[in-house]
Chain A
Amino acid sequence: ETGVTQTPRHLVMGMTNKKSLKCEQHLGHNAMYWYKQSAKKPLELMFVYNFKEQTENNSVPSRFSPECPNSSHLFLHLHTLQPEDSALYLCASSLASGPSYNEQFFGPGTRLTVL
C-alpha cells in the first residue's frame, strides 16, 4: 500500500452505535489530520496531530474522539452521532504542521451515513 489509506470506505450507522474510522499513511510523515467534507460546504478541519500529539481541536463535539497511537495511524472514534454528522471524512498527512508549510496528502475518505 502506498500513500494514505482509509477504512472503511463506506459506513452506515445508527445514532446509538459506536464505530471507528481508520487512517494509515505510508509516507513517513509526522503530522496527520481529520477533515469533514459536507455537501456544498467548505472542508472543515477537525483535528491535527503532530508527532502523535494533538495540536488542534477545532471545537469538534465530544461524540468524535480521535486517537493517534503512532505517526502512521490515526483513528476517529464515533459514538451517539446525529444525522447531520453524515459526511465524507477525509484523512490527510504531511511532513509536519506548523510555521513551515508542508503539502498535505489526502486519503480517499470514508463516506459516513448516520440513520
Chain B
Amino acid sequence: GDSVTQMEGPVTLSEEACLTINCTYTATGYPSLFWYVQYPGEGLQLLLKATKADDKGSNKGFEATYRKETTSFHLEKGSVQVSDSAVYFCALSDRDNNNDMRFGAGTRLTVKP
C-alpha cells in the first residue's frame, strides 16, 4: 500500500541555517504530495503541495520538488527562523486510494536563536 517515510528527528538548527527534511514515498498510482506543519498546541496546516512530477511547491520560504525518478519530496529552506520551530509532516494523497491522506511520522524542528 501507499506509504511515506521521512527522516527522523529531532532536528536542531541555529537561526539562518539551511534546512533539509528528507521524504520518500511509495504509491501505486500518481499521488499528490504535501508538507504539513504543526505548531505547538495546534492542528496541522498545509504548508505546500505538488500534484505532478517536477512540480515545485513553495510557501513561506519553504520549497519541495516532486521527483518521480527518486520518489522523493524533500523539504528545504535556505534560512530558518525561530518561528519555524514545529513538527513537519510529509504526506501523499492517491486518487487510486480514494485520496485518503497517508502521513509520515513527522520531524520535529527546533531553531535556536
Contacts and interface: CB of A to CB of B under 8 A. Distances in A.
Given A42-B4, A42-B104, A106 B43 contact: yes
- What bracket does the count of chain B residues touching chain A fall in? 20 to 34
Contacts of B4: 42
Contacts of B101: 43, 45, 104
A108 B43 contact: yes
Contacts of B74: none
Given A42-B104, A43-B89, A101-B32, A108 B99 contact: no
Q: Is the interface of A mostly helix, strand, loop or mixed?
A: loop
Interface of A: 4, 40-43, 45, 48, 55-56, 90, 92, 97-104, 106-109
Return the 7 tightest CB-CB contacts between A and B, nearest first. Answer: A106-B43, A43-B103, A106-B44, A42-B103, A108-B43, A42-B105, A107-B43
22 contacts: A4-B43, A40-B105, A41-B105, A42-B102, A42-B104, A43-B89, A43-B101, A43-B103, A48-B100, A56-B100, A90-B43, A97-B99, A97-B100, A98-B98, A99-B95, A99-B99, A100-B99, A101-B93, A102-B99, A106-B45, A108-B41, A109-B43
Interface of B: 4, 32, 41-46, 49, 51, 89, 93, 95, 98-106
